[in-house]
Amino acid sequence: MASRTRAPAAPGAPAALERDFERFRRELPRDFAAHVRDTFRIDLTGRYLGHAIPHPIGKGSGQLSLNAGQLEDAAAAGLAFAVLKTVIAEDETGAQTMAAWAVHETRMKVERRAAADGRPGWTVTWKGRGWDRSFTEYLALVRAGRDLTRAGRLLVVPSVKYHLPRLGEPFREAEYRYTTARLADAWGEPPLLVEKDFSPTLAGDALADDRAQILRWLREVPGRIRAASPIPVRVAVKLMNARFDDQFQVEMMKESRGADALVVFNRLFDVERGVAFGGWDLSDRNLRVLDGMTPGTPHLRAGSVVPLTPGASPGIPALTGTGNIGSGRMLLEYARRGCESVQLHTFFQLPLSEYPATRGSRTQRALHALVFHPQDGLIAGLLELEARGEVARRDGELHFLDVPALAHRAR
Ligand SMILES: Cc1cc2nc3c(=O)[nH]c(=O)nc-3n(C[C@H](O)[C@H](O)[C@H](O)COP(=O)(O)O)c2cc1C
């Protein structure tokens, strides 16, 4: 808890940061958020789907959350949350309208991908789509995630691709009902948390050629999931990068008011190669669109109080960022535009030589760089925002969540 008696961070904080960066190369303490609070007086608490999490960094849905071993590894590394691979909804007979997304493909290629302007970056090329094993196996994974969540070790959230009809066609309610009820049953205690994926491969599909059709999905899908669930449910909508302009992305966000959270925005789609991709082009676009929602961030004076209600912007759900996050600085770019947490995939897959840490799992090495890097890490970035007067300490502490709260205020 914030204490009024705590002194502001010592002027020597960056030296302490250098020291921690060096010694944690060999081993990152699992509860590094508590260490950061004690050492730097920085509260890293983030938020995802209404849950307070010890810091804002989680794993996005995909190939890194396919089995219980990967979840255990994430929990052991001290990750804040993990979203399970997207499962394709089905009805009680096993019929899946979106079956074309349940593609089996094992080979992923971690590749360098330069941005349109030449900046070198990374992407993961992969032709697969959703979960390709049985729904029963998925439910077993949900139960493993539930146990980790209950134990307070890792917040785990399932992800679903539900049926999306053409304009004028009805939603297949049986798929919504059956899939959500089974998830709720596996989860047990309410609320059920669900992420609904509007994927980049969908953006590349003829189904997503029509703007009015996409906007109808966004308006109606959160309500459909709520109506289908036998227990209270919180819905995050993971928005795709549609093949329209930035203004349409903003429109998509505004139409998604029925969701509890928005994940902004899934990867771009390379029509020529028929694959989704990331890198700097992805973060450039995502940040530009989020800028369209935030007309300039006001500065926070020392001692002023920031409202910390989730989704504080009128009419816009709480935000979670995704796309080319490979440093604490990039994480803060999303936070300054309102994101209360972030979901990474590519940065957990780089060659080991790309991480400054010399030991530990990829997740640990990634967290070490993201949080403790003396120039590009989250702590360094927050101290810099403080030095520039963009955030101020309250009761002697800097709070990560004050950064997105400022963006919400500006809206
Ligand atoms: C190989 C791969 C598989 C993915 N599968 C899914 C998925 O099934 N559902 C989903 O919502 N997002 C999926 N994603 C998107 C990621 O969760 C993430 O949002 C996206 O890659 C942007 O983050 P990054 O730049 O850190 O990779 C996938 C990404 C990759 C690279």
pLDDT for position 243: 87
Preceding omega of 298 cis (within 30 degrees of 0): no
Q: Report the pLDDT value the prediction gives residue 103, as an integer from 0 to 100.
A: 67
CA dist 344 → 43, 183, 247, 353 (Å): 21, 24, 25, 19
Task: Looking at the CA of residue 263, tell me the nearest atom of ligand 1.
Answer: 19
pLDDT, position 300: 36
Residue 273, pLDDT score: 84
Ligand 1 center from residue 10 Cα (angstroms): 39
Residues found in the chain: 411
CA–CA dist 106, 83 (Å, integer): 19
CA of 62 to the centre of ligand 1 (A): 5
Q: Which long-range contacts (CB under 8 A, 24 or more apart) does 348-353 make?
A: 348/59, 348/64, 349/64, 349/108, 349/110, 349/124, 350/110, 350/122, 350/326, 351/110
Structure tokens at 397: 């502490």
How high is the pLDDT of residue 383? 97
pTM: 0.92
Contact 159, 141 (CB under 8 A): no
Cα-based torsion angle of the residue sequence 51, 57, 63, 67 in order, rounded to the nearest 10 degrees: -60
14: left (phi over 0), alpha (psi -120 to 50) or beta: alpha
Specify the ligand 1 atom closest to the Cα of 131: 8
Tell me how far the alpha carbon of residue 59 lies from the centroid of ligand 1, in angstroms. 9
Report the residue among 111, 197, 266 best suited for mutation to probe ligand 1: largest number of ligand atoms under 8 A from its CB: 266
Give the H/E segment covering residue 342: strand 339-344
Residue ranges in the chain modelled with pLDDT below 70: 1-13, 103, 105-106, 200, 203-204, 294-314, 411
Q: Distance between CA 387 and CA 383 in Å, rounded? A: 6
Q: Which amino acid belongs to residue 94?
A: G
